[in-house]
Amino acid sequence: MKRFVFAVVSLLVLLLWQGRASAHPHTWIEFDIRVTFDDQGRVTGLHQTWLFDAYYTMFVVEGAEKLTGAEQQDALNALLAENLKNLAEYRYFTHIYSGETPLETKIAENTATRMAGDRLEMSFFLPLAEPVEARELAVSYQIYDPTYYVEMLHYKGKDSITLDGAAGCQAKLIEANPDPSETLYASSLAQSETGYDGLGKLFAETATIRCG
């Protein structure tokens, strides 16, 4: 598993963060989620808006801030394309379930990016391979970097979850509750070390959607 799949060189990321942090996670993403439904009330996918931290942004858009207008947007679009290409291999760090059954997703679409102040923002729609009911079984999702190099959290907690086109549906957000030993392990990892594949899941928030 690649420790950090975005369009950066790992060594340079480590140099960037030297003195900024000595343990996992090394960078942060806050996100908003819009859960979409079809006219039958089935969940069709997640529209995600990711907001990268200012330090990652400062590094990855270096040079782009000197551009203006269409040239700057072209540079950001190229970065977006590279990020999404790399993320596709890891299912966009997104895991969606019906009950306990993992759901398949398609390739991200309706992509966009911009600068939001001093932070890079990217958004995309991740469609389910097939729409799914959220009545008898809740639909849930987790979004996380498997190695916990990146911490990923809802930007405003439950308020960052919107149900678009839902009738009689409610969302619930459950905070992570990792074992203290795992927290200690994660905090002990130096910049040159990689957490094991699956560490990030222990620190992931879980959102559930139930209708009816």
pLDDT over threshold 60, residue 209: yes
The whole-number average pLDDT for the span 193-199 is: 84
Instruction: Give a yes or no: residue 28 inside a domain.
Output: yes
Question: What pLDDT does 65 receive?
Answer: 60
Integer Cα distance of 151 and 173 in angstroms: 16
pLDDT confidence band for 24 (50 / 70 / 90): low
Alpha-helix residue ranges (DSSP H) falling in the chain: 10-17, 54-60, 69-88, 180-188, 199-202
Instruction: Give a yes or no: residue 134 inside a domain.
Output: yes
Rounded to whole angstroms, what are the CA distances from 121 to 4, 50, 106, 146, 200? 17, 6, 22, 21, 22
Instruction: Give a yes or no: residue 115 inside a domain.
Output: yes
Integer Cα distance of 183 and 185 in angstroms: 5
Instruction: Give a yes or no: residue 4 inside a domain.
Output: no
pLDDT over threshold 80, residue 9: no
Instruction: Give a yes or no: residue 120 inside a domain.
Output: yes
Integer Cα distance of 153 and 130 in angstroms: 26
- Choice among 41-45, 73-77, 111-115 with the minimum mean pLDDT: 73-77
What residues make up the domain containing 150?
Answer: 10-211
State whether residue 189 is helix, strand or coil. coil
pLDDT over threshold 80, residue 6: no
Instruction: Give a yes or no: residue 5 inside a domain.
Output: no
pLDDT over threshold 50, residue 118: yes
> Where does residue 33 rank: exposed (0-12), middle (13-18), buried (19+ CB within 10 A)?
buried
pLDDT confidence band for 39 (50 / 70 / 90): very high
Integer Cα distance of 37 and 71 in angstroms: 36
Q: How many domains does the chain have?
A: 1
Instruction: Give a yes or no: residue 31 inside a domain.
Output: yes
pLDDT over threshold 60, residue 151: yes
pLDDT over threshold 90, residue 61: no
Instruction: Give a yes or no: residue 163 inside a domain.
Output: yes
Question: What pLDDT does 73 receive?
Answer: 87
Answer for the pair 147, 199: CB distance below 8 angstroms, yes or no: yes
